[in-house]
Amino acid sequence: MKHWRIEDVAWDRFDPSAAEPQVVPLVKAAAMVERNGTDYAIYLNRVFGDDPDFRQAADHWAEEEVQHGDALGKWAMLADPSWDYASAFARYKAGYQLPLDADASVRGSRTGELIARCMVETGTSSYYTALAEATKEPVLQQVCRHIAADEYRHFKLFYDHMRRYLARENISLLRRLRIAASRITESEDDELAYAWHCGNEPDGLAYEHGRCTAAYMAGAMAHYRFRHIERGMGMIFKAVGLPPRGRLSDVSAKAAWRLMQWRRQRFVARLAA
Ligand SMILES: [Fe+2]
Ligand SMILES: [Fe+2]
C-alpha cells in the first residue's frame, strides 16, 4: 500500500504566482529520474533473483518512485502548461539506459548495492526536504513533503536489508565507505544531467554533460541549508556503520557543507562562461 496517492494532493490550491521560475526546471528534471524507477526495479530483481522478500519490496518501492515522478510531472505541467511530461520522459528513456542485463550488482556485492541505494535515498530525502522548505508554492510544498517522507522510509527499507546481507557478506568498513563515496560522486554523472537536458532543453540542442550538470547542480544546491547536510551526513554514517551523531559526523557535515558551497560556485561560474 502506498502511503499517499496523487489524488490526495490539494491540486486546486496551486498558486501560479508562487511557483518560483528557478524551481520549475528542477522539478521537471527530477520527474524524469523518479519516473525511471521501474527500470531500476528490473535491475534489482535480477541482482536479488533468489530473494523473493526483497524483490517484492523492490517492486513496491518502484511504484512509489513512479508516483514521485508523476506528481512532480503533474505539478510542472501546472507551473508550465506548455511542458509535456510524457514526451519529455519518453525522450529521457530513449537516451538513458541502466544496465538491465546485469546478473550481479555493479557494486560488487548485495551489501554494496544496498549501501548505494541508501546513498540515493539519503540524497533524495534531503533534497525534497530542502525543496519543500525553499518553495512558497503550497502544492509543491505538499508534494515534496510526501516524497521526502517516502524517501526516508526507502532509506530504512534498504538499510534493513543491507544489515541482513552484511551479516552474511561481511564487507569491511573501508569498502563500505568506498562504495558510499563513489555513489555520492556519481550524482554528477549522466542520470541527472541528462534528465535536465530532456526536461528543459529544446530538441535541436545537443546534450552536453558539463553544461547540463552545471545547470542542474547550481540550481539544486542553492536550496540546501546546513541542517539538511547535517541530517544527511547522519544517514550516510548510519548506512556505512559509523555512529550517526558525534564529533566525526559533525566535522564531516561541516566539510561537506563547505565542499557543496565551493562546488556550487564552480557550477555557477561554468554556467556564466
Ligand atoms: Fe523518489
Ligand atoms: Fe526513494
Rounded Cα distance between 235 and 242, Å, is 10
- Give tens-digit pLDDT for 120-137: 999 999 999 999 999 999
Mean pLDDT of 34-59: 95
- Give tens-digit pLDDT for 219-249: 999 999 999 999 999 999 999 999 999 999 9
Calculated CA dihedral for residues 87, 146, 225, 120, nearest 10 degrees: -60
- Give tens-digit pLDDT for 159-196: 999 999 999 999 999 999 999 999 999 988 999 999 99
Lookup: cell for 104: 550481479
pLDDT of residue 100: 80
For the CA of 68, the nearest ligand: 1
Q: 15 C-alpha to center of ligand 1: Å?
A: 24
Tell me the whole-structure pTM to 2 decimals: 0.96
Q: 36 C-alpha to center of ligand 1: Å?
A: 10
Q: 66 C-alpha to center of ligand 1: Å?
A: 8
For the CA of 65, the nearest ligand: 1
pLDDT band at 102 (very low <50, low <70, confident <90, very high): confident
pLDDT of residue 112: 97
Give the side-chain half-sphere CA count within 13 A for 112: 17
Alpha-carbon distances, residue 116 vs 54, 137, 256 (angstroms): 15, 32, 18
For the CA of 67, the nearest ligand: 1
Q: 158 C-alpha to center of ligand 2: Å?
A: 10
Residue 88: CB atoms within 10 Å: 23
For the CA of 58, the nearest ligand: 2
pLDDT, averaged across the chain: 96
Q: 234 C-alpha to center of ligand 2: Å?
A: 17
pLDDT of residue 98: 83
Q: 25 C-alpha to center of ligand 1: Å?
A: 17
